[in-house]
């Protein structure tokens, strides 16, 4: 019995679509889990740097914001939303509306930063040839476009007495947290490659 080429093509296309959907879902879930883990690590290891539950002079989860969007596009933003929605309930004073808004800001800020940086630096969407200086631009713009809307919302929702009250610590915390994680990841990769090279020798 001869196989129908059209049936094979349709089956293959359906399989590819299912695989793509599963990959996007897995990416979003991984980002959400990483956000929660880094958030808890930050609260445990760097609690002395906290200004509030959501503002710290060193905020490690900030690194996930830009990396998630850079690597997973909108699926990364979905993961950020889910993760931030979960951790927003850490503060008993945070209601569901506050949690949704804060999660939305955490997810859309890096998307906007990615759009701005790729155009500002004339980079392709694949980020081919990204340098250390350009990565610093991404981290800086990402921190700024996260800190500004968050602080405006904190002020409008009466969580702060001024829209700039937490701007500096949040901006620096996001920037330092991002750079710390990126440096640690870079160091870990170097050590791993060095060990693999030594094993081959």
Instruction: Say yes or no to pLDDT of 40 above 50.
Output: yes
Please tell me the distance from the alpha carbon of residue 118 to that of residue 127, in angstroms, as a whole number.
Answer: 8
56, burial (CB in 10 Å: exposed 0-12, middle 13-18, buried 19+): buried
- Looking at CATH, the fold of the domain delimited by 23-200 is given as Arp2/3 complex 21 kDa subunit ARPC3 (1.10.1760)
Query: Above pLDDT 90, what percent of the chain?
Result: 32
pLDDT, residue 193, reads 65
Please tell me the distance from the alpha carbon of residue 39 to that of residue 19, in angstroms, as a whole number.
Answer: 30
For the four alpha carbons of 137, 156, 69 and 41, in that order, the dihedral sign comes to positive
Out of 43-57, 76-90, 96-110, 118-132, least confident range? 118-132
Instruction: Say yes or no to pLDDT of 7 above 60.
Output: no
Instruction: Say yes or no to pLDDT of 8 above 60.
Output: no
pLDDT, residue 109, reads 92
pLDDT, residue 143, reads 93
Please tell me the distance from the alpha carbon of residue 168 to that of residue 54, in angstroms, as a whole number.
Answer: 13
State both tokens at 12.
Answer: 């293959």
Q: Using one digit for the tens of pLDDT, what is the confidence trace for 106-116?
A: 999 999 998 89
What is the Cα Rg of the chain in Å?
20
What sections of the chain are H helices per DSSP?
A: 5-45, 62-72, 74-87, 96-120, 132-156, 167-200
Please tell me the distance from the alpha carbon of residue 164 to that of residue 20, in angstroms, as a whole number.
Answer: 42
Q: Per-residue confidence at 10, pLDDT binned at 50, 70, 90? A: low
Out of 1-10, 136-145, 179-188, least confident range? 1-10
* Phi, psi dihedrals of residue 80, rounded to the nearest 5°: -65, -45
State both tokens at 195.
Answer: 């060990």
* Cβ-contact 72, 31 below 8 angstroms: yes
State both tokens at 191.
Answer: 């050590």
More confident residue, 196 or 24: 24
Instruction: Say yes or no to pLDDT of 1 above 70.
Output: no
Mean pLDDT across 164-187: 85
State both tokens at 22.
Answer: 């599963």
pLDDT, residue 37, reads 93
**pTM for the full model?**
0.80
């Amino acid at each position: 019995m001869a196989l129908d080429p059209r049936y094979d093509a349709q089956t293959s296309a359906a399989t590819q679509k299912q695989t793509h959907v599963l990959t996007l879902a897995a990416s979003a879930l991984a980002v959400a889990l990483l956000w929660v883990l880094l958030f808890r690590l930050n609260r445990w290891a760097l609690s002395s740097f906290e200004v509030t539950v959501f503002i710290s002079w060193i905020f490690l989860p900030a690194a996930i914001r830009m990396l998630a969007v850079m690597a997973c596009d909108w699926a990364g933003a979905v993961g950020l939303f889910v993760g931030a929605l979960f951790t927003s309930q850490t503060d008993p004073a945070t209601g569901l509306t506050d949690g949704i808004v804060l999660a939305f800001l955490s997810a859309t800020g890096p998307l906007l930063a990615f759009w701005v940086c790729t155009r500002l630096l004339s980079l392709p969407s694949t980020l081919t040839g990204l340098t250390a200086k350009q990565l610093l631009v991404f981290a800086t713009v990402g921190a700024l476009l996260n800190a500004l809307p968050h602080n405006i919302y904190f002020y409008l929702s009466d969580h702060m007495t001024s829209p700039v009250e937490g701007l500096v610590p949040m901006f620096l915390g996001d920037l330092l947290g991002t750079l710390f994680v990126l440096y640690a990841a870079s160091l870990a990769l170097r050590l791993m490659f060095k060990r693999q090279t030594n094993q081959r020798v």
